[in-house]
């Protein structure tokens, strides 16, 4: 049986998720899991900073014709992110209401040198 080929887009995403993980680990966060999929959405990275669980969305945009990486996280994406985090927490007997957690965005431009870390991205 032939192996499934990953699309160039998927390979590109994996590259930037790996770079984001390395960046966050240098900032003192610890890796828990990556590419966690649920029917409602995906969690790119799950990290931990002290006692806080950090759900990380990794975005990359080569150009800004349709907005940059930060602007690409619209309300639909935010809702899928929250739903997936709640599913992950529920598997551990927790919820968004009682867990010490936050949602961070790591956004890249054209290359790995253009990195922006937005902690508490979903806070008002």
pLDDT of amino acid 37: 93
What does the mean pLDDT of the chain come to? Answer: 86
CA–centroid distance for 37 within its chain:
12
CA–CA separation, 107 and 17 (whole Å): 10
Region 7-22 average pLDDT:
82
CA–CA separation, 91 and 95 (whole Å): 9
13 exposure class (CB count in 10 Å sphere: 0-12, 13-18, 19+): middle
Band (pLDDT 50/70/90 cuts) for residue 65 is very low
Q: Which of 5-19, 65-79, 80-94, 101-115 has the highest mean pLDDT?
A: 80-94
């Amino acid at each position: 049986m032939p192996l499934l080929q990953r699309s160039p887009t998927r390979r590109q995403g994996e590259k930037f998720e790996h770079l984001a993980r390395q960046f966050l680990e240098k900032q003192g966060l610890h890796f828990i899991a990556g590419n966690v999929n649920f029917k409602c959405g995906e969690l790119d990275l799950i990290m931990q900073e002290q006692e806080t669980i950090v759900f990380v969305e990794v975005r990359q945009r080569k150009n800004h014709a349709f907005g940059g990486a930060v602007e690409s996280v619209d309300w639909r994406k935010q809702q899928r992110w929250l739903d997936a985090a709640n599913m992950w927490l529920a598997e551990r007997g927790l919820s968004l209401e009682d867990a010490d957690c936050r949602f961070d965005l790591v956004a890249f431009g054209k290359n790995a040198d253009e990195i922006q870390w937005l902690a508490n991205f979903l806070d008002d």
